[in-house]
């Protein structure tokens, strides 16, 4: 990718990047006796979504999430009821935005960047999780991997966004708090910007690309994006 290309479209991951998944913790604390099992569930969800893609298979992310909950429960000898499943769905659908999200999105929008989202989650009817969180109006479009039936970080997920936006992948910068997501985006020709929210950081290993930008908070990352790439 040409070094002087300035991305004009900022593509946001949603779950954990924009929306706070810690609001799921009470369910996991009640079922498993501790909040840490949320991280086990989420890690397994990412693992098996990527496994499905590598295997040429596809199951909607929400269905995988429910299945992983039942799988983790069986591992821990815990019974999961239908009401527990409904609570998981309700909590996922109503996660609030992190406190740094609205200030950061406002900065980027005022700086002239186009804002879209790309999520592993299936699309939903209004009100969407973004709308419930009060941030839907910031985004020009919202994309789901269901269009290509592959989960991130499959390269076609990012290429699909570029195609739909009538842009090159070099016009895109993916913002996420998961390094596996920025790695995939960069491999597809996009820029990658990492938020190091708790439980996420860089990976010092051979051939693992460093994100173009790294910051602990989304407002800091927005400032870096504007300073480096704002159109003159």
At how many degrees (to 10) do helices 179-187 and 155-164 cross?
60
Task: State pLDDT tens for residues 129-147.
Answer: 999 999 999 999 999 999 9
pLDDT computed for residue 232 by the predictor = 47
Q: In what order do the strands lie in the sheet with 9-12?
A: 141-144, 114-119, 9-12, 172-176, 191-195, 213-215
Q: Find the CATH number of the domain harbouring 184.
A: 3.40.50.1000
Residue 2 falls inside a structural domain: no
pLDDT computed for residue 2 by the predictor = 40
Does residue 106 contact residue 115 with C-beta atoms inside 8 Å? no
Taking all residues of the chain, what is their mean pLDDT, rounded to a whole number? Answer: 95
**Angstrom distance (rounded) from CA 209 to CA 206:** 8
Residue 1 falls inside a structural domain: no
Mean pLDDT, rounded, for 8-17: 97
- The count of domains in the chain is 2
> 165 and 83, same structural domain?
no
Does residue 49 contact residue 64 with C-beta atoms inside 8 Å? yes
Task: State pLDDT tens for residues 36-53.
Answer: 999 999 999 999 999 999
Tell me whether the omega of the peptide bond preceding residue 161 falls within 30 degrees of 0, making it cis: no
Residue 43 falls inside a structural domain: yes
Residue 3 falls inside a structural domain: no
Q: Find the CATH number of the domain harbouring 37.
A: 1.10.150.240
pLDDT score of 155 more than 50: yes
> 115 and 47, same structural domain?
no
Does residue 177 contact residue 16 with C-beta atoms inside 8 Å? yes
**Angstrom distance (rounded) from CA 164 to CA 9:** 12
- Residue % of the chain over a pLDDT of 90: 93
> 150 and 47, same structural domain?
no
Residue 4 falls inside a structural domain: no
Dump the DSSP string for 126-154. Answer: SSPHHHHTT-GGG-SEEEEGGGTT--TT-
CB burial of 45-72 (b: ≥16 within 10 Å; e: otherwise) equals bbebbbebbeeeebebbbebbbebbebb
Residue with structure tokens 């010092």?
Answer: 204
pLDDT computed for residue 136 by the predictor = 97
Confidence category of residue 1, pLDDT binned at 50, 70, 90: very low
End position of a domain, from candidates 93, 110, 135: 93
> Beta-strand (E) ranges in the chain?
9-12, 114-119, 141-144, 172-176, 191-195, 213-215
Provide the residue range defining the domain that includes 49: 21-93
pLDDT computed for residue 230 by the predictor = 85
Residue 130 falls inside a structural domain: yes
> 214 and 106, same structural domain?
yes
> 149 and 48, same structural domain?
no
Mean pLDDT, rounded, for 76-100: 97
> 121 and 224, same structural domain?
yes
Of the candidates 170, 230, 184, 210, the one whose C-alpha atom is nearest the C-alpha of residue 13 is 184
> 192 and 129, same structural domain?
yes
> 149 and 38, same structural domain?
no
> 216 and 102, same structural domain?
yes
Task: State pLDDT tens for residues 109-125.
Answer: 999 999 999 999 999 88
**Angstrom distance (rounded) from CA 49 to CA 177:** 17
Mean pLDDT, rounded, for 177-182: 97
> 178 and 137, same structural domain?
yes
Mean pLDDT, rounded, for 151-172: 98
pLDDT computed for residue 41 by the predictor = 98
Residue 208 falls inside a structural domain: yes
pLDDT computed for residue 231 by the predictor = 59
pLDDT score of 19 more than 60: yes
End position of a domain, from candidates 93, 113, 143: 93
**Angstrom distance (rounded) from CA 175 to CA 152:** 13
At how many degrees (to 10) do helices 25-32 and 61-75 cross?
30
pLDDT computed for residue 73 by the predictor = 98
Residue 201 falls inside a structural domain: yes
End position of a domain, from candidates 43, 60, 93: 93
> 125 and 219, same structural domain?
yes
> 52 and 147, same structural domain?
no
Confidence category of residue 5, pLDDT binned at 50, 70, 90: confident
Confidence category of residue 4, pLDDT binned at 50, 70, 90: low
């Amino acid at each position: 990718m040409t070094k002087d290309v300035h991305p004009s479209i900022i593509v946001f991951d949603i779950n954990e990047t924009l929306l706070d998944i810690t609001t799921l913790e009470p369910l996991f604390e009640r079922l498993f006796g501790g909040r840490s099992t949320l991280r086990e569930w989420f890690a397994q969800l990412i693992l098996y979504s990527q496994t499905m893609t590598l295997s040429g298979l596809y199951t909607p992310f929400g269905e995988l999430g429910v299945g992983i909950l039942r799988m983790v429960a069986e591992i821990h000898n815990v019974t999961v009821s239908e009401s527990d499943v409904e609570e998981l769905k309700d909590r996922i659908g109503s996660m609030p935005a992190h406190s740094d999200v609205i200030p950061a999105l406002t900065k980027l929008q005022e700086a002239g960047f186009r804002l879209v989202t790309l999520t592993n989650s299936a699309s939903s009817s209004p009100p969407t999780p973004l709308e419930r969180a009060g941030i839907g109006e910031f985004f020009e479009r919202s994309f789901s991997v269901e269009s290509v039936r592959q989960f991130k970080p499959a390269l076609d997920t990012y290429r699909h966004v570029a195609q739909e936006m009538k842009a090159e992948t070099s016009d895109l910068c993916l913002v996420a708090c998961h390094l596996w997501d920025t790695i995939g985006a960069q491999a597809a020709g996009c820029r990658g910007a990492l938020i190091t929210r708790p439980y996420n950081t860089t990976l010092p290993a051979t051939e693992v690309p460093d994100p173009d930008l790294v910051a602990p908070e989304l407002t800091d990352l927005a400032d870096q994006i504007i300073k480096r790439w704002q159109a003159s």
